[in-house]
Amino acid sequence: MAKGLAGQVLARFEAAGFSIAGAKMIQLTPEKLWEHYAHVADKPFYPEIEEFMSSRPVIVAALKGEGIVAKVRDLLGPTDSTKAPKGTIRGDFGTNMMVNVVHASDSDENAQIELDRFFDPAEILG
């Protein structure tokens, strides 16, 4: 959000053939971040994640498309933006491991958990 790239990122998802089934801007709370990052919440770097992720509003999006999880992860590139190739979202817009522009689910199961975490059923329309 700080770099003003939301439209460009969403446009890349659409250009890749995905449809946006839901999207909204939210402010992540410490409680929601703790739930979302529970798998690393006990790590020494977690406070930095919480500080960064709650520093400004974020846009959460529900995308649809064939093989969506793997294809989105390919489009994003590696989590560490310094290792992401140019042409990927993180490679073009990210800064480092923390400031990597976009989070994406790593499995169909986690995608459903995250959709349920960030959206009410009526907010996903596609």
Q: Does the active-site annotation cover 103?
A: yes
% pLDDT > 70, the chain: 100
Note the pLDDT of residue 112. Answer: 96
Indicate whether this model's pTM tops 0.85: yes
* Whole-number Å distance between alpha carbons of 72 and 103: 10
CA-only gyration radius of the chain, Å: 14
**Cα separations (Å) of 126 from 17, 30, 62?**
14, 29, 9
Helix or strand holding residue 104 (H, E): none
Q: What are phi and psi of 5, to 5 degrees?
A: -110, 5
pLDDT 10s digits, 75-114 = 999 989 999 999 999 999 998 887 888 999 999 999 999 9
Mean pLDDT, rounded, of the chain: 94
The domain segmentation of the chain, as residue ranges, is: 6-73+103-118
Q: Out of 24, 103, 105, 123, which one is annotated catalytic?
A: 103
* Region 6-73+103-118: CATH code: 3.30.70.141
Q: Which residue, chain included where needed, has tokens 């890349």?
A: 12
